Amino acid sequence: MNHLEQSNKTILVAPLNWGLGHATRCIPIIQALLDHNYVPIIASDGNALELLRKEFPYIQMLALPSYHIEYSKTDKYFKWKMLISIPKIIKAVLAEKKLIQQWITKYEIDGIISDNRLGIYSAKIPSVYLTHQINVLSGNTTWFSTQCHRYFIKKHNECWVPDVAQDPNLTGNLGHVKNTSLNIKYIGPLSRMKQKELNKKYDLMVVLSGPEPQRSLLEEKLKNEVLKYKGKVIFIKGIVEKTQQNETFKNVTFYNFMNTKQLEQTFNESDLVLCRSGYTTVMDLVALQKKAFFIPTPGQYEQLYLAKKLENEGLLPFSLQEDFCIEDLSKINNFSGLPKIDFKTNWNDLFKVFEKM
Q: What are phi and psi of 292, to 5 degrees?
A: -145, 165
| 141 vs 136: CA distance, rounded Å | 9
With H, G, I as helix, E, B as strand and everything else as coil, classify residue 203.
strand
Q: What are phi and psi of 354, to 5 degrees?
A: -85, -5
pTM given for the model? 0.91
pLDDT tens for each residue of the chain, 357 residues long: 444 455 589 999 999 998 789 999 999 999 999 999 999 999 999 989 999 999 999 999 999 998 776 655 555 555 555 666 667 878 888 899 999 999 999 999 999 999 999 999 999 999 999 999 999 998 888 999 999 999 999 999 999 999 999 989 999 999 999 888 899 999 999 999 999 999 999 999 999 987 788 899 999 999 999 999 999 999 999 988 889 999 999 999 999 999 999 999 999 999 999 999 999 999 999 999 999 999 999 988 999 999 999 999 999 999 999 999 999 999 999 999 999 998 999 999 999 999 876
Closest to 64 (Cα-Cα) out of 47, 42, 44, 41:
44
